[in-house]
C-alpha cells in the first residue's frame, strides 16, 4: 500500500506536468520565437504580442538583488548564533528567525506596500542623488516609490530566514576540534571564523543561498503588491516599475482570456524550469558538502 | 610603549568601551542640535555609526590591529541580528497596531456580500470559513499520503522506484507556490472541467504540504532507535504491525510538529488560491462547488484597493492570518519540546 501511494504521487505529478504542457502549447505556438524575446504582454489582443523577456529579466534581477541584501545579514546572524551568542540567546534568535519564516507572504506584501515603500523613498532618493553615476542608481525622472529595489528589500526579508536557518545548521556541523585548534594557536574569534569555520562551510552556504534564490524566484504575492507592473528591460532599479513571472501570473490571471491564460501557464513553466534548475543545483552542492 | 614589546598587550576596559560609544552618540546629538541634520531614522543611523567609530578608535588606541578587526567583526554580526529583530518587530507591531484598530466582532461575523470598496462595512467570515475548509481538506489529502510515502521511503523503498520517489519529493520541495496553483488549474479546473472551487484550492495546497510532511516524517522515523524495532521483531510481530504500533507512536511527537508546521505554511499561501479558489465575496459553505474565498485572498483583494476602508479590512485580515499561523508555529515547537526523541 505504501508503494502504491508513493507510485501514485509520482504518476499524479507527471500527469499534471503533461496537462501544463498541453495548456501552454497554444500560446507558445501563437507567439513562436517572440515568446522568448518580446517584452510586452498583450496575449489577448489581435494580433497578440507577448513574451517573457521583461518578466524573466525582472525575476532574475529582483531575486539577485534580494540575495545581495539578505545573504550578508543571514550569514552574519547565523555566525553570531553559533560563534558568539550564549546557547540560550542563540535559541531565542533561532525562534525569531523561525517566526520571520512563518509570516505569510501576503502580510509581507501588505507591510511592504504600506509601511516600507513610503519609508524607503528618502533612502532611494539619497542613493540616486549621490550615487546616480552608477548605472544601477540612475533615476532621471526623479520619481520614487514602487521600484524593483523596494521589492527586493521585501523579498530579502522573506529569503533571510531560509538562508539563516540552513547556514546555522552548516556552521554547527563544523567540528569543534577545528575551532579549538585555531584558538590554541592564539587566534581571535574572528580569525577562528575566517580560518576554521568558513572554509569547510563554503559549499554548504552556497547551497543555502541557492535555496533562498529558489524562494525569491517563485515569490508571487509580495512582489505583486509592492511592484507597479511595467514591462521593461533596464538596469535602473530605483525607477518605479518592473515585474516578475510569478507576480504577472497573479495580477493578469483574473482579466485574461483563453490565449492569455495559456500564455500565463507557459510563463509558469519557464519559472518552474528556472527554480527547478536552481534547487537541484543547491541540493547537489549541499549533499557534496555534508560534513559527516 | 608598543603592544608587541610586552608579553601581554593592552586591553580595552569595559568602562572605556562604554565611554567611547557614549562619546560617539554625544557627538551625534550635538551634530543634530547644531547643524541642519534632522529626522529620527537619520539620527539612529548616524548615532550607530558614530558610536561604532568611537568604540573602534578607542580599541585601536589600546589594542593591536588583530584585536580591532575582531571587535569590528563582532559589531557587524551583532548588527545583522539587530536587523533581523528590527524587521520582525516592525512587521509584527505595525500589523498588530493597524489590525487591532479595525478588528471587531462585526469583522468576524460578516461577509463581503454587497460591500463596495469604499464602504466601511463587511468582514472576513466567508474568508475564514474558506480557509478552514481548504486547509482541512488539504491536510486530509497531504498528511496520510505524506506519511505513507515517508514510511515507504524509510521502511520499504529499495531500487529504482525509491530513487524516483525521492527525486519527485525533492522536485516538489522546489515547486513555486504559484506553479502548484497552475498545476491544479490546468489539470482540475480546465483539464477535467471542474471549475474553480475550495477543493481545487485544497489540492493545490496539498501539493505544497506533501513534501514538507514527507521530509519531516522521514527524519523522525529515522530517529527511532533500531533496538525498539528489533525488540518488536523478536516477539514475532509482523513488520506492518511493528511500524504501526512501535515506530509511528515513538515518532509521533516529531511527526506532529512537522504536520503543524506544514499546516502553518499553507495557511498563509495566497498565490495558488488565486488560480484555484479564485475568491468570492459571499459565504460559500460548500467547498466542492463554485469559487470560494480565503483569508490570504481576502487580504490580497482588499490590499489591492486604494480606498481606506478596504485597506483597514486588509490589515484586520492580515492580523487574523498572522495570529493563526504564529499560534500553529508556536504550538508545533511546544509539541517537540515536550516529548523529545533522541
> What average pLDDT does chain A have?
87
Res A292: pLDDT: 43
Among the listed residues A231, A241, A66, the one whose alpha carbon sits nearest the alpha carbon of residue A146? A241
Whether residues A254 and B274 touch (CB distance < 8 A) is answered with yes
Tell me phi and psi for residue A232, to 5 degrees: -135, 160
Please indicate whether, in this complex, the C-beta atoms of B84 and A10 are within 8 angstroms of each other: no
Say yes or no for a CB contact (<8 Å) between B321 and A107: yes
d(CA A6, CA B168): 10
Average pLDDT, rounded, for chain B: 87
CB spacing of B87 vs A20 below 8 angstroms? no
Contact B274, A250 (CB under 8 A): yes
**pLDDT, tens digit (0-9, with 9 covering 90-100), for A16-40:** 889 889 989 988 888 888 888 888 8
User: What is the residue-level pLDDT of chain A in tens, covering all 292 positions?
Assistant: 788 888 888 888 888 889 889 989 988 888 888 888 888 888 888 788 888 889 999 999 999 999 999 999 999 999 999 999 888 998 888 888 888 888 999 999 999 999 998 888 888 888 888 887 877 787 777 778 788 899 999 999 999 999 999 899 899 989 999 999 999 999 999 999 999 999 988 888 988 898 899 889 989 999 998 888 788 888 888 888 888 999 999 988 888 888 889 999 999 999 999 998 888 887 777 777 654 4
Is the bond leading into B15 cis (omega within 30 degrees of zero)?
no
- Tell me the C-alpha distance between A118 and A64, whole Å: 23
- Residue that has been written with the C-alpha cell 576554521 in this structure: A196
Contact A113, A222 (CB under 8 A): no
pLDDT at B273: 93
Q: Give CA–CA dist B251/B224, Å, rounded.
A: 7
The answer to whether residue B94 neighbours chain A at the CB level (below 8 Å) is yes
pLDDT digits 0-9 by tens, A112-159: 999 998 888 888 888 888 887 877 787 777 778 788 899 999 999 999
Looking at residues B299-312, what average pLDDT do you find?
A: 87
Q: Which CATH superfamily is domain B125-338 in?
A: MetI-like (1.10.3720.10)
Q: Where are the beta strands (DSSP E) in B9-150?
A: none
d(CA A241, CA A255): 20
> What is the model's pLDDT at position B202?
95
What's the residue count for chain A?
A: 292
Q: Take residue A266 and report the three cell numbers written for it.
A: 507557459
Give residue A142's Cα distance to chain centre: 27
Q: Is the dihedral of CA A142, A148, A150, A153 positive or negative?
A: negative
Q: Is B141 on the interface with A (CB under 8 A)?
A: no
Can you state the percent helix, strand and coil of chain B, rounding each to 5?
75, 0, 25
Residues of B (171-230) whose Cβ lies below 8 Å from A: 171-179, 182-187, 190-191, 210
Count how many residues are written for chain B.
342
Of the pLDDT bands very low, low, confident and very high (cuts 50, 70, 90), residue B284 is confident
The 3 state secondary structure assigned to chain A is: CHHHHHHHHHHHHHHHHHHHHHHHHHHHHHHCCHHHHCCCEECCCCCCEECCHHHHHHHHHHHHHHHHHHHHHHHHHHHHHHHHCCHHHHHHHHHHHHHHHHCCHHHHHHHHHHHHHHHHHHHHHHHHHHHCCCHHHCCCCCCCCCEHHHHHHHHHHHHHHHHHHHHHHHHHHCCHHHHHHHHHCCCCHHHHHHHHHHHHHHHHHHHHHHHHHHHHHHCCHHHHHHCCCCCCCCCCCCCECCCCHHHHHHHHCCCCCHHHHHHHHHHHHHHHHHHHHHHHHHHHHHHHHCCC
Q: For residues A57 and A68, what is the distance between their CA atoms, to the nearest angstrom?
A: 16
Taking alpha carbons only, the member of B176, B207, B210 closest to residue A272 is B176
pLDDT at A143 (0 to 100): 77
Exposed, middle or buried: residue B258 (CB in 10 Å: 0-12, 13-18, 19+)? buried
Interface contact B311, partner A, CB < 8 A: yes
Domain spans of chain B, in order of start: 7-101, 125-338
pLDDT at B5: 46
- Answer for the pair A148, A243: CB distance below 8 angstroms, yes or no: no
Nearest C-alpha neighbor of A97 from the set A115, A119, A120, A73: A73
Is pLDDT at B70 greater than 50 in this prediction? Answer: yes
d(CA B340, CA A174): 24
- Kindly report the nearest CA distance between residue A292 and chain B, in angstroms: 16
Other CB atoms closer than 10 Å to residue A64's CB: what's the count?
Answer: 13
pLDDT at B204 over 90: yes
Handedness of CA A245, A69, A159, B321 (dihedral sign): negative
**The pLDDT value given to residue B8:** 59
Select the residue from A120, A208, A220, A246 to test the B interface by mutation, using most B Cβ atoms within 10 A: A220
Percent of chain B predicted with pLDDT > 90: 39
How many other CB atoms sit within 10 Å of the CB of residue B333? 15
Q: How many CB atoms lie within 10 A of CB A209?
A: 22
Q: A108 vs B267: CB contact, 8 Å cut-off?
A: no
CB distance B143 to B213 below 8 Å:
yes
- Contact assignment for A218 to B176 by CB distance below 8 Å: yes
- Read off the pLDDT of residues B210-219 as tens digits, 9 standing for 90 and up: 999 999 999 8
Query: Residue A107: closest CA among chain B residues belongs to which residue?
Result: B318
Report the CATH superfamily, name and number, of domain A2-289. Answer: MetI-like (1.10.3720.10)
Q: Is the pTM of this model over 0.95?
A: no
| Residue keyed to cell 515569490 | A219
Residues of B in contact with A97 (CB under 8 A): 84
Give helix then strand counts, H and E, for chain B: 14, 0
pLDDT above 80 (res B37): no
Amino acid at each position: 500500500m505504501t508503494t502504491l501511494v508513493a507510485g501514485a504521487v509520482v504518476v499524479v505529478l507527471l500527469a499534471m506536468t503533461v496537462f501544463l504542457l498541453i495548456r501552454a502549447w497554444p500560446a507558445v505556438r501563437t507567439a513562436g520565437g517572440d515568446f522568448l524575446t518580446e517584452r510586452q504582454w498583450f496575449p489577448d489582443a489581435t494580433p497578440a504580442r507577448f513574451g517573457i523577456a521583461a518578466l524573466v529579466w525582472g525575476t532574475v534581477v529582483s531575486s539577485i538583488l534580494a540575495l545581495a541584501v539578505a545573504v550578508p545579514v543571514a550569514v552574519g546572524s547565523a555566525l553570531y548564533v553559533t560563534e558568539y551568542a550564549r546557547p540560550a540567546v542563540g535559541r531565542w534568535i533561532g525562534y525569531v528567525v523561525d517566526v520571520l519564516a512563518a509570516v505569510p507572504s501576503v502580510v509581507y506584501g501588505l507591510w511592504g506596500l504600506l509601511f516600507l515603500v513610503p519609508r524607503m523613498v528618502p533612502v532611494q532618493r539619497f542613493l540616486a542623488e549621490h550615487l546616480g553615476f552608477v548605472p544601477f542608481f540612475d533615476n532621471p525622472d526623479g520619481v520614487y516609490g514602487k521600484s524593483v529595489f523596494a521589492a527586493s528589500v521585501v523579498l530579502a526579508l522573506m529569503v533571510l530566514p531560509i538562508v539563516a536557518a540552513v547556514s546555522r545548521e552548516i556552521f554547527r556541523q563544523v567540528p569543534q576540534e577545528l575551532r579549538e585548534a585555531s584558538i590554541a594557536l592564539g587566534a581571535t574569534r574572528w580569525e577562528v571564523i575566517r580560518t576554521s569555520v568558513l572554509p569547510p562551510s563554503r559549499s554548504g552556504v552556497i547551497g543555502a543561498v541557492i535555496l533562498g534564490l529558489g524562494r525569491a524566484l517563485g515569490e508571487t504575492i509580495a512582489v505583486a503588491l509592492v511592484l507597479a507592473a511595467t514591462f521593461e528591460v533596464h538596469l535602473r532599479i530605483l525607477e518605479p516599475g518592473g515585474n516578475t513571472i510569478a507576480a504577472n501570473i497573479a495580477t493578469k490571471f483574473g482579466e485574461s482570456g483563453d490565449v492569455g491564460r495559456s500564455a500565463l501557464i507557459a510563463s509558469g513553466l519557464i519559472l518552474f524550469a528556472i527554480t527547478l534548475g536552481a534547487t537541484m543545483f543547491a541540493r547537489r552542492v549541499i549533499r557534496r558538502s555534508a560534513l559527516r | 610603549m608598543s603592544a608587541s614589546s610586552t608579553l601581554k598587550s593592552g586591553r580595552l576596559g569595559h568602562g572605556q568601551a562604554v565611554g567611547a560609544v557614549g562619546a560617539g552618540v554625544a557627538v551625534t546629538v550635538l551634530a543634530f542640535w547644531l547643524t541642519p541634520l534632522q529626522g529620527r531614522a537619520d539620527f539612529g543611523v548616524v548615532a550607530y555609526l558614530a558610536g561604532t567609530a568611537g568604540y573602534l578608535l578607542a580599541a585601536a588606541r589600546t589594542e593591536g590591529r588583530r584585536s580591532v578587526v575582531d571587535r569590528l567583526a563582532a559589531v557587524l554580526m551583532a548588527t545583522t541580528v539587530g536587523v533581523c529583530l528590527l524587521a520582525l518587530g516592525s512587521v509584527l507591531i505595525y500589523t498588530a497596531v493597524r489590525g487591532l484598530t479595525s478588528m471587531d466582532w462585526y469583522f468576524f461575523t460578516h461577509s463581503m456580500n454587497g460591500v463596495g470598496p469604499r464602504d466601511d462595512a463587511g468582514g472576513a467570515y466567508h474568508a475564514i470559513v474558506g480557509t478552514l475548509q481548504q486547509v482541512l481538506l488539504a491536510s486530509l489529502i497531504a498528511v496520510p499520503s505524506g506519511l505513507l510515502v515517508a514510511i515507504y521511503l524509510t521502511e520499504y523503498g529499495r531500487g529504482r522506484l525509491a530513487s524516483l520517489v525521492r527525486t519527485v519529493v525533492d522536485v516538489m520541495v522546489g515547486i513555486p507556490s504559484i506553479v502548484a496553483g497552475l498545476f491544479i488549474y490546468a489539470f482540475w479546473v480546465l483539464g477535467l472541467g471542474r471549475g474553480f472551487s475550495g477543493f481545487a484550492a485544497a489540492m493545490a495546497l496539498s501539493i505544497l504540504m506533501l513534501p514538507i510532511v514527507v521530509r519531516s516524517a522521514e527524519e523522525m522515523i529515522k530517529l527511532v532507535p533500531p533496538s525498539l524495532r528489533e525488540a518488536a521483531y523478536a516477539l514475532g510481530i509482523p513488520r506492518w504491525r511493528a511500524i504501526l504500533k512501535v515506530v509511528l507512536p515513538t515518532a509521533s511527537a516529531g511527526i506532529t510538529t512537522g504536520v503543524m508546521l506544514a499546516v502553518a505554511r499553507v495557511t498563509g499561501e495566497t498565490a495558488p488560491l488565486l488560480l484555484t479558489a479564485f475568491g468570492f465575496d459571499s459565504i460559500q459553505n460548500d467547498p466542492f462547488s463554485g469559487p470560494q474565498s480565503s483569508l490570504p485572498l481576502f487580504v490580497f483583494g482588499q490590499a489591492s484597493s486604494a480606498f481606506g476602508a478596504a485597506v483597514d479590512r486588509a490589515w484586520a485580515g492580515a492580523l487574523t492570518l498572522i495570529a493563526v499561523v504564529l499560534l500553529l508555529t508556536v504550538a508545533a515547537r511546544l509539541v517537540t519540546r515536550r516529548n523529545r526523541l533522541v
